[in-house]
């Protein structure tokens, strides 16, 4: 279960990073590109993903 939570956190953080990059206009070709909404939601999602991953890594077996 610990590895699953850690993996979930990493996946959430990766999606957040992608959303942030799209919001900042680094990744183009999407309706999400250069949009302020995703520039805010993306980094928040990254922080949540990192927190989930850290919590999963610290859990005892």
Please write the tens of the pLDDT for every residue from 2-58. Answer: 999 999 999 999 999 999 999 999 998 888 889 999 999 999 999 999 999 999 999
CA–CA distance from 21 to each of 2, 34, 48, 50, 53 (Å)?
Answer: 29, 9, 16, 17, 21
Asked if pLDDT for residue 59 goes beyond 90, the answer is no
Q: Compute the Cα dihedral for 24, 30, 31, 32 and give only its sign.
A: negative
At 40 the pLDDT is 96
pLDDT reading at 61 higher than 80:
no
The pLDDT of residue 56: 93
CB contact at 8 A, 32 and 22: yes
pTM: 0.89
Task: Determine the straight-line distance between the first and last CA of the chain, rounded to whole angstroms.
Answer: 8
Q: Where are the domains of the chain?
A: 2-58
Decide if 20 contacts 42 (C-beta within 8 A).
Answer: yes
Q: How far is CA 52 from the centre of its chain?
A: 10
């Amino acid at each position: 279960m610990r590895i699953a939570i850690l993996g979930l956190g990493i996946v959430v953080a990766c999606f957040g990073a992608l959303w942030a990059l799209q919001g900042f206009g680094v990744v183009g070709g999407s309706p999400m590109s250069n949009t302020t909404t995703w520039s805010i939601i993306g980094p928040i999602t990254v922080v949540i993903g990192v927190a989930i991953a850290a919590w999963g890594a610290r859990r005892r077996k």
